[in-house]
Structure 1
């Protein structure tokens, strides 16, 4: 069965996390933009602080949706060497994509957080949330970046994911929580009734509401 929308998916993910113990001392980090409406519902249900972790896919110059890696929250690129060799990507092509995505990462971070620092995560449990896992490239980059930044336990949590992505992510995160892991996956959007794009304004509004709720 499909989720109605990202908010419905977030509520179902929150219910599963509550059954697993609720992680009372954790913080919630959303991967924008689509992960924010999901994470907002989780943070509200579990009464946890919410922040964003901007991670950018590194897509092929002529086919941006096909990833050869991702940029983690600390700005370090995670490169899939197999894809680079298979497609014979030149270093100059890789560098151009990394520069462009770093600029977009900086823009989004400023738009979503302004001058507020990222919540302190050193030694803490972190629930890192997206709206789904297809290849899992951005989530893997997020988990590795969180490790480098000193996070304690890192739990990747999503409403839906492909079996291959969830299995690969188990080798990176301390745990992977997925409401649905269908054998026939197709795409993340196929499991949503409404998968319309989340806007920057919606992200900022949800983050502001989360800050108000916690206050």
Structure 2
């Protein structure tokens, strides 16, 4: 049985789990995380912005993630996957360059010319619609950490228990409505899990 009808419902439940948590801003990972983050930001009464991330895929199998990169941060590689595939960081230079370019395009599209938010000394909640391996979330958290916030909280409706545990050292707190040991994919925990378009993502951002 599915756990969440859609991302809006997941966001409402996540906001309940975050009730009373100090927050100055919600940063949501596009695209799906923005639909969840918009509900959370509205419930907490704080601004919403994006934190753009990109997976660093295997050169021959792009769906196989070997790391991730977040806006304002450096590439974060999955050491275990690199060892398993026989690749080195230097082998992914072209992938990193391509994803940096796509990341910049999305930042321009989603921010509409606005500068990135000042996170110094602020309580920041980073939101995504789910955690499978935690690779993109790790890159996002490290990018946020580099901006000297007061506290960083990672918040998701659902996350694989091993991923949640692995990220506890990257954030001051990890909040997950559910953290099952047997996970599968993020989409398997939603009845509706359509990919958001850029226009739908922008609509979510403008709703807060």
Tell me the equivalent position of 1:213: none
Instruction: State how far apart, in whole Å, the 2-side matches of 1:85 and 1:163 are.
Output: 23
Q: Which runs of 5+ in 2 are unaligned?
A: none
Is 1:17 aligned to residue 18 of structure 2?
Answer: yes
TM-superposed CA distance for 1:79, in Å, is 1.4
| Number of positions where the alignment pairs a residue of Structure 1 with one of Structure 2 | 207
TM-superposed CA distance for 1:80, in Å, is 2.1
Instruction: State how far apart, in whole Å, the 2-side matches of 1:92 and 1:154 are.
Output: 30
Tell me the equivalent position of 2:106: 108
Residue pair 1:75, 1:102 contacting (<8 A) in 2 also: no
Q: 2:190 aligns with which of 189, 192, 208?
A: 192
TM-superposed CA distance for 1:91, in Å, is 5.2
Cα deviation 1:162-183 (Å, max 9, x = unaligned): 0100000001110000001112
Q: 1:63 aligns with which of 61, 76, 84?
A: 61
Tell me the equivalent position of 2:8: 7
> Helix, strand or coil for the counterpart of 1:140?
helix
Q: How does 1:133-172 map to 2 (within 5 A)?
A: 133-172=131-170
Q: How does 1:87-126 map to 2 (within 5 A)?
A: 87-89=85-87, 93-126=91-124
- The alignment's TM-score, normalised by the length of structure 2, stands at 0.95
Instruction: State how far apart, in whole Å, the 2-side matches of 1:83 and 1:44 are.
Output: 38
Question: Which runs of structure 1 show a deviation greater than 6 angstroms over 4 or more consecutive aligned residues?
Answer: none
TM-superposed CA distance for 1:114, in Å, is 1.9
- The alignment's TM-score, normalised by the length of structure 1, stands at 0.92
Residue pair 1:170, 1:176 contacting (<8 A) in 2 also: yes
TM-superposed CA distance for 1:39, in Å, is 0.2
Cα deviation 1:134-160 (Å, max 9, x = unaligned): 000000111111111212200000000
Instruction: State how far apart, in whole Å, the 2-side matches of 1:92 and 1:81 are.
Output: 13
Tell me the equivalent position of 1:39: 37
> Helix, strand or coil for the counterpart of 2:21?
coil
Residue pair 2:77, 2:89 contacting (<8 A) in 1 also: no
The alignment yields a C-alpha RMSD, in angstroms, of 1.3
